């Protein structure tokens, strides 16, 4: 799976080899086996769908991220998030990525999905971030799973990902039990820092995971720049669609999950779910163009949301002014 921040991809050789094995990306990637049958998602025709390698289950290749963007303090206006979710769903999007770390994001998703009557039609990807009282303690993970289900109004979460690699073995063992019990359907790992990807690689290569999720930051370096003329050959009308189509055309990527608070940006993002995808020649052409743009080689070091301020629960708990 692949994450890109809409209001915001490079790996070394060993990381590239690991990614070849998997598919969900901030990008999400998936790892090849066989799970129980998934509930069929009601999806409009003519959308770009990609299979989850482990099962062959097909999902729309553009999802919705909620990091920071869906964190709204209780009592503050959040109707725009309901509009974002409706535009996303009506355009064929089904995968929504969230985490208990994202403040009120789980609550916002659960409330709006229930109000819109679409909860049962969504593929929810969530995360576990706990270490326990001692090595091997999974009681914190168990409590966090229960709380996430309550917030999301779900008795099953489609994908659960370990988000703290410190205690990954313990949490993955717990997730394997949850999968067996039908509480979750897929197991994954996620991290937002490229410097940690080498720790994810062994989990991917051993076939432990169904998904791996990584993050990219691209929008800042193209601000004010026109699209290349050849972007129209694959139906791209914006930089967002240019990036998204490049990401989801990669064979290791199952779904890209851009985040936004802006309904207009959501309309633009979901537009990348239709039309042509770049072939190998076009992908190389797109990459070559990006390599001519200053600071493209530094995107891994850019902040997730340059110039953006989100006044949510997460910010309230921060010591930074």
For β-strands 157-162 and 23-24, DSSP reports them as unpaired
Neighbours of 142 (CB within 10 A): 16
How far is Cα of residue 7 from the mean position of the Cα atoms in its chain?
Answer: 15
User: Tell me: the pLDDT tens digits for 11-61?
Assistant: 333 444 443 333 344 555 444 333 334 555 667 778 999 999 999 999 999
Say what the pLDDT of residue 9 is.
36
State how far the Cα of 34 lies from the Cα of 42, in Å rounded to an integer.
22
Which of 3.30.70.560, 3.40.50.150, 3.20.20.100, 3.40.630.30 is the CATH number of 2-305?
Answer: 3.20.20.100
Residue length of the chain: 321
Q: Decide which of 35 and 6 is more confident.
A: 6
User: Tell me: the pLDDT tens digits for 167-216?
Assistant: 888 899 999 999 999 999 999 999 877 778 888 888 888 888 999 998 77
CA torsion, ordered 240, 245, 251, 255, to nearest 10 deg: 50
Say what the pLDDT of residue 241 is.
97
State how far the Cα of 16 lies from the Cα of 8, in Å rounded to an integer.
23
- In the chain, alpha helices (H): 13-21, 79-90, 105-116, 139-152, 168-181, 197-205, 239-248, 263-270, 280-290, 313-316
DSSP at 221: G
| Phi and psi angles of residue 44, each rounded to the nearest 5 degrees, phi first | -60, 155
Which H or E run includes 186? strand 184-190
Q: Decide which of 197 and 262 is more confident.
A: 262
Of 222, 223, 284, the residue nearest 250 (C-alpha): 284
Domain definitions of the chain by residue range: 2-305
């Amino acid at each position: 799976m692949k994450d890109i921040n809409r209001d915001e991809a490079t790996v070394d050789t060993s990381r590239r080899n690991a990614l070849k094995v998997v598919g969900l990306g901030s990008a999400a990637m998936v790892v090849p086996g066989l799970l129980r049958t998934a509930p069929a998602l009601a999806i409009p025709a003519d959308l770009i769908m990609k299979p989850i390698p482990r099962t062959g289950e097909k999902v729309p290749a553009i999802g919705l991220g909620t990091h920071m963007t869906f964190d709204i303090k209780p009592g503050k206006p959040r109707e725009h998030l309901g509009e974002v979710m409706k535009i996303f769903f009506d355009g064929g999007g089904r995968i929504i990525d969230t985490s208990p770390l994202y403040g009120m994001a789980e609550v916002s998703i659960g409330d709006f999905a229930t109000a819109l009557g679409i909860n049962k039609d969504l593929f929810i990807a969530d995360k576990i971030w706990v270490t326990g009282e001692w090595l091997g303690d999974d009681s914190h993970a168990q409590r966090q799973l229960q709380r996430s289900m309550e917030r999301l109004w779900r008795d099953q979460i489609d994908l659960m990902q370990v988000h703290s690699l410190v205690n990954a073995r313990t949490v993955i063992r717990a997730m394997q039990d949850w999968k067996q019990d039908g509480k979750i359907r897929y197991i994954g790992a996620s991290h937002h820092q490229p410097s940690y990807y080498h720790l994810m690689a062994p989990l991917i290569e051993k076939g432990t995971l169904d998904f791996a999720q990584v993050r990219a930051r691209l929008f800042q370096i193209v601000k004010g720049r026109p699209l290349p003329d050849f972007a129209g050959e694959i139906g791209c009308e914006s930089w967002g669609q240019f990036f998204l189509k490049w990401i989801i055309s990669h064979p290791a990527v199952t779904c890209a999950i851009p985040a936004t608070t802006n309904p207009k940006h959501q309309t633009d993002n979901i537009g990348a779910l239709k039309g042509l995808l770049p072939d190998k020649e076009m992908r190389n052409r797109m990459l070559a163009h990006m390599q001519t743009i200053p600071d493209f080689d530094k995107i891994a070091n850019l902040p997730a949301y340059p110039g953006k301020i989100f006044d949510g629960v997460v910010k309230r708990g921060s010591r930074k002014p």
